[in-house]
Amino acid sequence: MLRVRRFTTFCIRPAVYREARPVEVSAWTVGGEPVPFAEAVAQRFEPFAIGQEWGRPWDTVWFDVRGEVPPGWAPEETELVVDLGFTGEQPGFQAEALVYRPDGTVVKGIEPLNAWVPLPEPGPFRLLIEAAANPVVQVPYEYEPTSLGDKATAGDAHQYRLTELSVSRRDLVVWELLQDVLTLDGLVDVLPAHGSRRAEIVHALERMVDVMDPDDVPGTAALGREVLTPVLASGAAESSLIVSAVGHAHIDCAWLWPTRETVRKVARTFANVLDLADRHPGFVFAASSAQQYAWLKESQPALFQRVREAVAAGVIRPVGGMWVESDTNMPGGEALVRQLVLGKQFFLREFGVESEEVWLPDSFGYTAALPQIVRAAGARYFLTQKPSWNEINRMPHSSFLWEGIDGSRVFTHFPPAETYNSDLGAQDLARTERSFRQKGAARHVLGLFGWGDGGGGPTREMLAAAERKQDLDGSPRVRLSDPHSFFQQAEAELETPPVWVGEMYLELHRGTLISQQRGKRGNRHSEALLREAELWAATASVLRGTPYPYDELERAWQTVLLLQFHDILPGTSIAWVHQEAEHQYEQLAKELTTLIDASLGALAGDGDTPLAANAGPYARRGVGALGIGPAAAAPAATPRRDGDRIVLEDRRLRVEVGPDGTLASVVDRTADRELLPSGVTGGVLQLFRDTPREWDAWDINDEDKRSGRDLREPVSVGVQDDAVVIRHQWGGTTIDMTVRLVEGRLDYRFEIDWHESQKLLKLAFPLDIRAERATSEIQFGHLHRPIHQNTSWDAAKFETAAHRWIHVGEPGYGVAIANDVVYGHDIRNGHAPDGRPMTTARLSLLRAPRYPDPAADQGRHAFTVSLRPGGIPEAVADGYAQHLPLRVTRGTPVEPLLEVTDPAVVVESVKLAEDRSGDVVVRLYEAHGNRSRATVRTSFGWREVSATDLLERALPSEAVDAVTPGSSVDLLMRPFELLTLRFREPTA
């Protein structure tokens, strides 16, 4: 085969373009942020030579290209060939461009593996090329720190050299021959080494070389194709898999580039897709993320109109129904709901379509709450391939039913090529055959093809491969299809699909629960502010008639949802992205606080009585849930010294803080029980080495825990007012801890100035509890996970996600640990020095990865953590108390819009309806994991109430047990059931 491959490389490929003519090039450098076409075309362009350097990091250069198509050149063979100076890196991670006609209409994108532009009929032409000098930030093996991810440190060196711009004539026969050869050559590498089919292909390829003249490839290409025809005509086995090939171009909303560059990547990709669709009937392209369509509508309205027409024609299929392809571990339940609500609303409004599949091929694990949310949004199917990245355990199914914490099920598929960027080459298709787990029971699989992340999407070469592999011996059968048709076929052929219950934990990228902690704080805080803003605005609208700020709230949600994208919230993007996110969170806080203050002012009036607004679902300090009233004081216990220890004591707990700043004793006075194991202290800060094997910001490795040390040498431990204050300091890092005992709850407040590199900071609570599992809050409920390491599946979960609380317990007794902005947890059982069993719960506070942001997490951070003996109900309540602190205001007390009689049934959101009718929408869920009865009583009147889906469309629900018109609703909720109620025509 060496002879064949040399002939392909040095004879066939160079002959694809048989003639080339030079063009005249001039250029204008923007010298800053991108500008619209109309502004660029009006600038003064200077002559520019082939071979000249261009493009400082993140800058844009516009090239004005003028040339002439010679007489006799047919349009289907005439192209402008472009090489912006492409490197050997993967497409999507370097220079890209968009080509315009002089009237401003878009022609096509340019990327390393899609670097041609169609030209008009013979005669003169002019094109303008908007070239983005995106630097190569990706370091695929070394993951070395790079300054290129921050405009302030990226420097001024040119990134590229213009290598080619020419009018070229493509030899269609030679090009087709090349596709024949590539198809067959690929099979040679995947077929059995001594099999007859492989030998037949090798023989045919050798014969092709024999009959062709290397000095006249164009003249003999037809002979070469004739020799290969019989082996290409040999049909696939009847039992071959059927690959439904769907065009795709997974585009991260931000990653190794900022969101402003994603806007342009989307335009380039859709331009390519539209051009390809014009040339290849039957081609279908699936694209997710309403945000990306919205960007296109704003930045390229004419191109968006063409996309709208392609959607109507069935060529482009909006999929997923989410605003972005978000992370699913860390967003709150209401945020995941809004991902689908805003996404589906956009697709319905702009295209009149509603996708039935949720599309998350690249998120870092999947919460067990998701199946219920998917079904409640009116979707039936779920797609991902990320679990194929698992380090240790292989997921046992490719097509299956995924069951969530409430029992909801959704039909799920993992494309067995284990990529969403397939080229439909032999390697990907062979992997599809090997990896498909339902062989024998099913034959239909999904194949997503196209270069992603701005790499250009599907190409004509990929479609040529699909055409040749429709029925080819040695390959699965490839059929151009669409996602919905595939899911219908896959679901129909599996009469009894296997079932996977619970979360789909990704055994990789666990560090994403910790990296870029300021962004995570911004997310948690923004979710709380949005809850408050909607609640008080809805209350003010119903009770006082004030206008509801629909537009402001929608814009705020769009920003929060964008920032939950799976490379922003997880902390795995360049510095530019995270700096921008922190700024957006600051702006959101100001805007939402202004909305909250305005609503509270309208509600409470002009009085001067001190009040507290309680947006939480439980009464606190005498203020009713969802209400506004005077708050009782909550004094903390007064610290006192006892020898070398400091004692905090109230009716429930007696706490002793030792001279090293750790907890020497925590006694539950009610249960007469010491929480700490004998000979072990608690509330210990621990510092670990954090040097991942690869993927710095993404990964933490379990072996690094062997290098940890306890921080037991504070520079000071003392008493200040009602708190114990502890300071740790080393190098440039300072940690200030404030410990209080308030109403039977031990509260920690951390102020940290962090200047470490490749270190991981944890807070450890060893507990005298014999537990086999721990409980973690997730969206709309909680999840039990084993904390032993009996199996490889258990051992792999050495860092797990939780939201506002975790709980560790044994029959009849437990401890709840709540937080205000921690997602990463590490809970394991073990033994104390005296040999008795214990359980250690650790919260992961901070880390300091170096790639892709070398300054990740440097600077100031704040955390609040609380510990309390109690059960799940106490954990839920403490979690909400951390999340939604009372807000101080003044005026007259205000009655809540509604109350719920059972604390197990939690109000997650109160808002006005999305259709702007003024109806009140209340979202509730069962939080304790029981069957719970509750009555929802309203302080406002209403004409009727109905259960709805997440898009607020009425549907039957067994949870609604009885209705007292205009007054109350009786509910019977299943464990973790999610319920949306719509109260129509509310009146004060």
Only one residue has tokens 């801890």, namely 737
Helices marked H in 61-214 — which ranges?
A: 172-190, 196-211
**CA 117, CA 109: separation in Å to the nearest integer?**
8
Residue labelled with tokens 């290969």 = 228
Burial of 315 (0-12, 13-18, 19+ CB in 10 A): buried
What is the sign, positive or negative, of the torsion defined by CA atoms of 515, 516, 519, 520?
positive
**β-pairing, 920-926 with 905-912?**
antiparallel
Residue type, 726: I
The helix (H) or strand (E) run that includes residue 597 is helix 575-604
> How long a stretch of residues is the chain?
988
Element containing residue 110 per DSSP (H, E): strand 106-110
Q: Return d(Cα 846, Cα 824) in angstroms, integer.
A: 10
SS3 295: helix
Q: Could you give the CA distance from residue 471 to residue 479 in angstroms, rounded to a whole number?
A: 9
Q: Among residues 83, 362, 597, 722, which one is catalytic?
A: 362
Name the helix (H) or strand (E) containing 921: strand 920-926
Nearest to 387 by CA among 408, 349, 414: 414
Cβ contact 555:298 at 8 Å: no
Q: Which amino acid is at 204?
A: A
Q: Is 362 a catalytic residue?
A: yes
* Integer Cα distance of 183 and 428 in angstroms: 12
Quick check: 105 and 118 in contact, CB under 8 A? Answer: no
Query: Encoding tokens for residue 450?
Result: 């196209």
Written as six digits, the tokens of 845 are 């506070």
Torsion of CA 687, 689, 691, 697, to 10 degrees: 0
Q: Quick check: bond before 986 cis, omega within 30? A: no
∠ CA 569-571-573, nearest 5°, is: 105
Please state, as a whole number, how many other Cβ atoms lie within 10 Å of the Cβ of residue 410.
21
- The amino acid that residue 895 corresponds to is E
How many other CB atoms are there within 10 angstroms of residue 502's CB atom? Answer: 16
**DSSP designation for 70:** P
Q: Whole-angstrom Cα distance, residue 304 to residue 310?
A: 10
Neighbours of 694 (CB within 10 A): 12
Rg of the chain over all Cα atoms, to the nearest angstrom = 31
Distances (CA, A) of 791 to 266, 393, 666: 43, 10, 33
| CA angle, residues 456, 115, 458, in degrees to nearest 5 | 30
Query: In terms of Cα–Cα distance, which of 289, 276, 304, 277 is closest to 250?
Result: 289
Q: Which value, to the nearest 10 degrees, does the dihedral of the CA atoms of residues 106, 111, 114, 116 take?
A: 60
Does residue 277 sit in helix, strand or coil?
A: helix
CA distances from 169 to 223, 284, 392, 879 (A): 21, 28, 51, 67
Q: What are phi and psi of 150, to 5 degrees?
A: -130, 120
CB 577 within 8 A of CB 258: yes
Contact 368, 405 (CB under 8 A): yes
- C-alpha distance across the termini of the chain, in Å: 82
d(C-alpha 598, C-alpha 536), whole Å:
9
Active site residues: 362
